Amino acid sequence: MVVVSTPDMESAYRIFSVMNDRRLDLSHADILKAEIIGAIDGEEQQETYGRRWEAVEDNLGREAFEELFAHIRMIHVKQKMRGTILKEIRRFVEPATQPTAFVEEQLEPYADALKTIKSAGYQSTQGAETINMYLGWLNRVDNVDWIPPAILALAQHESDSRWLGRFFQQLERLAAGLLVMRAGINDRLERYSKLLSALQNGQDVLAPPSDLYLTDEERAKIVKGLDGDLYEMTKVRAYVLLRLDHALSGGGAVYDYPIITIEHVLPQTPPNGSKWFEWFPDEKERTGWVHRIGNLVLLSRKKNGEAQNFEFDTKKEKYFKSDKGISPFVLTTQVLVETEWTPVRLKARQEALVAKLKEVWSL
């Protein structure tokens, strides 16, 4: 027997995780389980709730189960983390004070909601397809800050598919809008915190003007971003183009390709003497169009540095078509039918695509 003395529980668990002979790091979920289940009176009750805890973890998977506690913390705290997840769960959630209630009223329903969110697997006799479509898009957003209000909304309105359909439509619109505006983490957390408070207070978040809706100023800022140099917004461009392509396809497109890349039609650096200089003789005008949405297409293949500077006809035939001869993306097939790529044609395409996005997100 080795006796180790530590100044506090944090240090004790840290040492235990290092010495753990399972060769699997002790997680904060493991520590919380010991504290919460250990706080339940009676061995039989502890065994019962221990099994319920393990069932939740098995259903979610270890990684998502770990993530769940960060979302539970956010639902309670509604601000950026200032300490460790363990310290903040203990201080603000206090699960060990009412351990059985925590398992029944938070751990299990919130875990079920997170499972539904991550799998886009909501089930209902009506409206499930729409809800899962929006969940699928939300899962493509480059942050998880939207998940706590999504969990809370699902837990509160699980059986009301009509309400959830409207909620997730607006949540995807909000998350996409914040993405296009390149809102920082503090701005995102502040917005979602207000939405969490409204949900917890029983406010009608579907009634404007709630924090679920974009303001007039925000909508104008989003439109400006969409009409600008989208390609240079690295964390934004793929989401916007896929969302746009989906809308142009009538909502039937599925994007499960192993590789999806973004390509310029008008090259960034056309070769000397090419047709591109005839169509775009003004350098300022040419460079002003290169990175805008009207000049971008999607490909289901790796980029080819040599192909990027092809002439328009060659690019269409050898690069923009798929192995089966037809591109799986509407954005790309639209370009394939064009005979020339001039400023006039590009301007018309730009206006049409931005107008479609304004329609998609009610901008």
* Residue boundaries of the structural domains of the chain: 1-119, 122-214, 226-360
Q: What is the pLDDT of residue 327?
A: 80
Identify the band that residue 255 occupies on the pLDDT scale cut at 50, 70 and 90.
confident
d(CA 159, CA 80): 31
Nearest to 77 by CA among 98, 102, 97, 94: 94
Neighbours of 251 (CB within 10 A): 10
Mean pLDDT of 287-311: 85
- Residues 275, 309 contacting (CB under 8 angstroms): no
- Residues 286, 322 contacting (CB under 8 angstroms): no
Q: What is the pLDDT of residue 27?
A: 82
pLDDT in tens, 76-91: 999 999 988 999 999 9
Q: Name the average pLDDT for the chain.
A: 92
Mean pLDDT of 164-176: 98
Identify the band that residue 181 occupies on the pLDDT scale cut at 50, 70 and 90.
very high
Q: What is the pLDDT of residue 315?
A: 83
| Stretch (H or E) spanning 95 | none
Amino acid of residue 211: D
pLDDT in tens, 28-46: 898 899 899 999 999 999 9
d(CA 173, CA 49): 39
Distances (CA, A) of 146 to 143, 193, 217: 8, 10, 21
pLDDT at 254 over 60: yes
pLDDT in tens, 185-238: 999 999 999 999 999 999 999 998 999 999 999 999 999 999 999 999 999 999
d(CA 261, CA 302): 6
Mean pLDDT of 261-288: 92
Q: What is the pLDDT of residue 81?
A: 92
Q: What is the pLDDT of residue 21?
A: 54
Neighbours of 143 (CB within 10 A): 14
d(CA 78, CA 196): 8
Amino acid of residue 274: S
Mean pLDDT of 278-283: 94
pLDDT in tens, 304-338: 665 677 889 888 887 777 666 678 899 999 998 89
Angle at 277 between CA 276 and CA 282, to 5 degrees: 125
d(CA 294, CA 352): 9
How many residues in total does the chain contain?
Answer: 363
pLDDT at 138 over 60: yes
pLDDT at 70 over 60: yes
d(CA 195, CA 199): 6
Amino acid of residue 157: H
Nearest to 172 by CA among 227, 228, 246: 246
Give exposure, 65-85, as e/b (b: 16+ Cβ within 10 Å): bbbbbbbbbbbbbbeeeeeeb
With tokens 């809308």, the residue in question is 247
Beta bridge partners of 298: 262
What is the DSSP secondary structure assignment for residue 318, as one 8-state letter?
Answer: I
